[in-house]
Amino acid sequence: MIPARSQPFHGIYTATVCPFARDGSIDEEALARHLVAAVATPGIVGVLINGHAGENFMLTRAEKRRVVEIAHATIGTRAILVCGINAESSHEAAEQARDAEAAGADALLVFPPFSWALSQDDTMALNHHRIVATASKLPLVLYQAGVASEMAYTPEVLAALVRLPNVVAIKEGSWESARYESNRRLVKRIAPHVAVMASGDEHLLTCMVVGSEGSMVSLAVLVPELIVALDCAIAASDLTTARALNDRIQPLARAIYGTRPTGHANVRLKVCLRLLGQLDHDGLRPPIGPLGTEEVAMLQAALDEAGLLDAASAHAA
């Protein structure tokens, strides 16, 4: 639900995972519990469902709609529901947008199709977003991909996208602080009403110091209180507290997102949630398989360094 306030989309969003049962189907009960937990921390204003962390690239169209339905039923009255739209075909993306709106989403985050990593010209992104915007009148959130990828929008394309009438925010994942600042300055000059949200999990401190209207990060499924506290510390110009919070966040950020292969980030998040007692099963769909014992041990050490395992043990006791 979009709150009735000025700048309603500003704030911290949890990018959720999608729990699977052992047979590979969506574990709907686990998903409902996960969504409730995702917005339980004061300061979390919403969720990003069907994002990359939610494995939108592995879900069928019907499953994506079902995720939105469950989110709407469980947390729809107390959180903003942003639904990821990820499809190679613009017409398929439009169908997903219609599904999400009908199922109760409040806004749509349009991801660049993975095929754009091979190449894209200056018209493809604008055409893609216009087709989605025609299919649904929901507010749109853009996604700026990492600078190392061809999926990242050039300044010229980004400038055209933020001028679209439905665009309210951008999940800025350039994963490089200089590019983040450059993109933020461009957006604020052309479309100052568009919220630019620092969303590179390894660079939150740096980007928030530059300026941010919030964040949409999957790391918030593990340390929501730290992400919210970091945002508040930066807003209060309390760099001492911000650095201390960043010292706790960084071990997890490096372990989950800064370790190759980066495509294992989703399963690493699920393994961490299992180690914390928040998920019973951490499986993904093929071709990504289970993590090896060394990688699980690395994640356990990162959770311990962040002080999460002691807290989980105390809660279980």
- CATH number (domain holding residue 79): 3.20.20.70
Residue 4 lies in a domain: no
Pick from 6-10, 116-120, 195-199: least confident: 116-120
Count each helix (H run) and each strand (E run) in the chain, helices first.
12, 8
Residue 38 lies in a domain: yes
Sign of CA dihedral 254, 256, 257, 260: positive
Residues 6+ apart with CB under 8 A from 33: none
Residue 302 lies in a domain: no
Rg (CA), the chain: 18
pLDDT digits (tens, 9 = 90+) for 141-160: 999 999 888 899 999 999 99
Give the H/E segment covering residue 11: strand 11-15
Residue 275 lies in a domain: no
Residue 102, domain extent: 11-234
Question: How confident is the model at residue 313, as a pLDDT?
Answer: 56
Residue 137 burial by Cβ neighbours in a 10 Å radius (0-12, 13-18, 19+): exposed
Closest of 82, 150, 61 to residue 114, by C-alpha:
150
Number of domains the chain is built from? 1
What is the percent of the chain where pLDDT is above 90? 88
Is the full-model pTM beyond 0.85? yes
Pick from 48-52, 198-202, 213-217: least confident: 198-202
Question: How confident is the model at residue 316, as a pLDDT?
Answer: 46
∠ CA 239-241-242 to the nearest 5 degrees?
60
Residue 172 lies in a domain: yes
Residue 157 lies in a domain: yes
Residue 300 lies in a domain: no
Give the H/E segment covering residue 100: helix 90-103
Q: How far apart are CA 195 and CA 188, in angstroms?
A: 9
Confidence class for position 312, pLDDT limits 50, 70, 90: low
pLDDT digits (tens, 9 = 90+) for 263-305: 899 999 999 999 999 999 998 899 988 999 999 999 999 999 9
Residue 266 lies in a domain: no
Question: How confident is the model at residue 314, as a pLDDT?
Answer: 42
Question: How confident is the model at residue 317, as a pLDDT?
Answer: 34
